[in-house]
Amino acid sequence: MEGQAAMPYQGQPSGPPAPANPWQPVALPDGAGPSYQGDDVPDTDPEDNDDEEQPPKMLPPPDLASFATPPGYEQYSAGAPLPPPAYTAPEETSAPLQTFTGIGTMNEQQVRDAICAYADQQCCYGTGAAQAMTFEKMEASGGLHYQLETFTETRTTSWQHLPYQGGQVDGPHCGPSRGPWDIACSPNDSFNTHEKNLEVPHTSNIKQCHNCTGCGFVRCPKCHGRGKVRCSSCHGSGRRTVHRNGKSERTSCSWCHGSGRRRCSRCSGDGRIICPICQGFAQLRWFIELKVKFTNNVEDFIHETTDLPDELIRDVSGKTVFEQTLPYVWPISQYHVPAINENSISIVERHRTAWPNSKTLQQRQILRSVPVTEVEYIYKDQKSRFWVYGNEHEVHCPEYPQTCCWGCTIL
């Protein structure tokens, strides 16, 4: 197969004859030698050890350059991304109106409940401080979380193969192959990363299995084609040491009946196993496979003016201030916080050219307002602060005033 010159397609309504049943190893009678006759059989029996058994030896695939490639796929069968259709930028005059909603806040009772629940959930925190602390100042603000999702599609092609079991072959005789971007393939759902593999129509052709050279079997990896393995009980000696009446004596091994050898359990003594590539059918159906990868590319920006760590805003819920889903979104440019406008423009512009080998299917941008309340409190002459954030009323309190490292006995 290797080095074979590329031949033009010769389509047939059906492929060459395939065996009615795949090749199967034969259980040989005792005393019969193995059927495997290759020149790679070792001179001695290998040890009967399943832990050291190697997988079947695989031969390299044929030279794919020797395959006659269907028109339109001459440069696109090696796994490289295929250039998508040309991108057309939307006209700025068609930009939709941007309308924003307000932000939410929380009251003192909600803050008190949140700090009490926080203390109660910690292993060594006393809840008394949460109940008794005095709130000197509560300042409500809103953390802003802007996120842009760009849902893209990338297509690659490669030669693949399956065991050929006979039957019709969808080759070039059935018609010309459609281009890689002309084959219909829709995502299961938008903004969710996943892959689909499709067979390109009219690209099948039948070849002899390269791994077994068309015989349907390969050398058994356990006995290396010998059909026998060294007995693991006596290690090939045929005899074992047994202890009877306080004495040791050598006796014939009952596992191998004194021969030191046992029939290979993998191939039943045949020395051959089914070829793992063609599954015993001796032939392969080669075809071009189209891999379609849908990817949700996400980038975000967090604007939060207090000392609360910004990353905490990302994982809590808030109120959606603005949301837009379009083939190509327009950046936010009319919000009253300049940092949001600036970063939205920057991120949207970056996503326009970030994936030149992918097709943009859809974009979605969301601006969320997450309620944040910074609380300054006093407890037993100790002043500090904590933050309550998100609709879940999560608490960030790095200096809680009542902790214990010797058990959970504080009330």
What does the pLDDT look like over 251-301, one tens digit per residue? 889 888 888 888 888 888 899 999 999 999 999 999 999 999 999 999 999
| Whole-number pLDDT of residue 247 | 77
Whether pLDDT at 411 is above 60: no
Rounded to whole angstroms, the Cα distance separating 303 from 307 reads 11
Rounded to whole angstroms, the Cα distance separating 185 from 199 reads 11
Q: Could you tell me which of 142, 143, 134 has the C-alpha nearest to residue 376?
A: 134
Query: What is the share, in percent, of the chain residues with pLDDT greater than 70?
Result: 86
pLDDT tens sequence across 124-156: 888 899 999 999 999 998 899 999 999 999 999
Residue 7: which pLDDT band, with cuts at 50, 70 and 90? Answer: very low
Whether pLDDT at 409 is above 50: no
DSSP string for 154-216: EEEEEEEEEE--SSB---GGG-PPPPTTTS----SSTT--EEEEEEPTT--EEEE-TTTTTSS
DSSP reduced 3-state for 351? helix
CA angle 388, 391, 394 (to 5 degrees): 35
Query: Which CA distances in Å does 313 have to 109, 300, 371, 396?
Result: 22, 11, 9, 11
Rounded to whole angstroms, the Cα distance separating 70 from 73 reads 6
Residue 15: which pLDDT band, with cuts at 50, 70 and 90? Answer: low
Mean pLDDT of the 347-371 span = 95
Residue 332: which pLDDT band, with cuts at 50, 70 and 90? Answer: very high
| Whole-number pLDDT of residue 10 | 42
Tally helices (H) and strands (E) across the chain: 4, 14
Whether pLDDT at 3 is above 50: no
Beta strands in 80-171 (DSSP E): 134-163
SS in 3 state form for 185-198?
A: CCCCCCCCCEEEEE
| Whole-number pLDDT of residue 265 | 86
Residue 240 φ/ψ, nearest 5 degrees = -130, 155
Residue 1: which pLDDT band, with cuts at 50, 70 and 90? Answer: very low
pLDDT tens sequence across 84-109: 887 666 665 566 767 676 667 789 99
Upper half-sphere CA count for residue 191 (Cβ side, 13 Å): 13
| Whole-number pLDDT of residue 145 | 97
The answer to whether the predicted template modeling score (pTM) of the entire model surpasses 0.75 is yes
Mean pLDDT of the chain: 86
Q: Please tell me what DSSP assigns to residue 97.
A: P
Rounded to whole angstroms, the Cα distance separating 352 from 408 reads 55
DSSP reduced 3-state for 348? helix
Is the model more confident about 376 or about 47? 376
Mean pLDDT of the 225-247 span = 84
| Whole-number pLDDT of residue 2 | 38
DSSP string for 36-70: ---TT--SSPPB--GGGPPPPP-PPPP-GGGS-PP
Rounded to whole angstroms, the Cα distance separating 26 from 227 reads 11
